[in-house]
Amino acid sequence: MSRPRTILLLLCVFVMGGSLLAACQPQMGRIDLGPDEKLQITRNVWQDYEAYKLKLGRGGGAFVVTETGTGSGYSYCPADRCRPGSFTQGAIELCEKAGVKCLVFAQGTTIQVDYEIVD
């Protein structure tokens, strides 16, 4: 079996003076949106999602976004022999290792949350 490739994209954003945003403090790795909430994501996160979609093979994948909508990461398999279900856990683990909370934005290319792109 192939192992899924895991890629970590920008998960922490520096603000003036070099301090980290509060979202970069150690926290557990997964959040959920309320039923009427929309996730606000940056254009850069959307571009990362578009790039992720181009890399997907038949093996599947998962794309996660930080709760602030400013960072993302993904786990995918370019082949067709990867273990199903390992992608979501791999992507969430990226968040845990980076000390941020994330939510699953997409399974494969199917977007799982309501969202809007903000500048």
Q: Provide the pLDDT for residue 19.
A: 24
- pLDDT by 10-residue block (mean), the chain, 119 residues: 37 25 37 80 96 85 92 83 74 86 91 92
Element (H, E) at 90: helix 86-98
Q: Provide the pLDDT for residue 80.
A: 66
Q: Provide the pLDDT for residue 44.
A: 96
* Distance, CA of 46 to CA of 19 (rounded, Å): 25
What's this model's pTM, rounded to 2 decimal places? 0.70
Q: Provide the pLDDT for residue 90.
A: 85
